[in-house]
Amino acid sequence: MNSRRAAGLTAATIDVSPSQVLVPGAAVRVGDTVVLDNGDPIVVGGHAAATYGPVVSGWARGSPAGRTAILDEHVGGGHAVLFAFDPVFRASTEGAERLLTNALLATPGAR
C-alpha cells in the first residue's frame, strides 16, 4: 500500500500499530458477499468503496467490521480500485471474484 501511496494512487496508509483486530483466517462479509481475510492489512484513509462487515466463519480476535475493504481513488481522468484483501487468493470466493470483475469493468470515473 505504501508504494501505491508513493505512486499517487491513494492517500490511504496501512495501520502498522498494534491492533485490537487480528484475523488470521476468516470469512468476512463485504457488502452482499463474503470474502476471505487471511491476515490482511488494516487500511486507514482514502475513499472507502466498501467496508468489512462481521466475521461469518473462522477465527478472529476483534472484528474488522467498519474498516476499509475496497478503496476507489480518482487518479487523473480515471480511478484506481485497491483491495485490502486479496480477491484472487487461492481460496478466494466467487463473491470476491465478482468484486474484482466489477472493478475491472467499471466505467472510468464512476463511483
C-alpha distances in Å from residue 60, one per residue of 16, 21, 22:
18, 7, 6
Statement: residue 106 has pLDDT above 60: yes
C-alpha distances in Å from residue 26, one per residue of 36, 73, 81, 95, 106:
6, 27, 23, 15, 28
Alpha-carbon gap, residue 71 to 46, rounded angstroms: 7
DSSP conformational letter for 104: H
Predicted pLDDT of residue 89: 80
Query: Over the stretch 83-101, which tens digit does the pLDDT of each residue have?
Result: 999 888 877 788 888 999 9
pTM for this one? 0.80
Domain boundaries, the chain: 2-105
DSSP conformational letter for 5: H
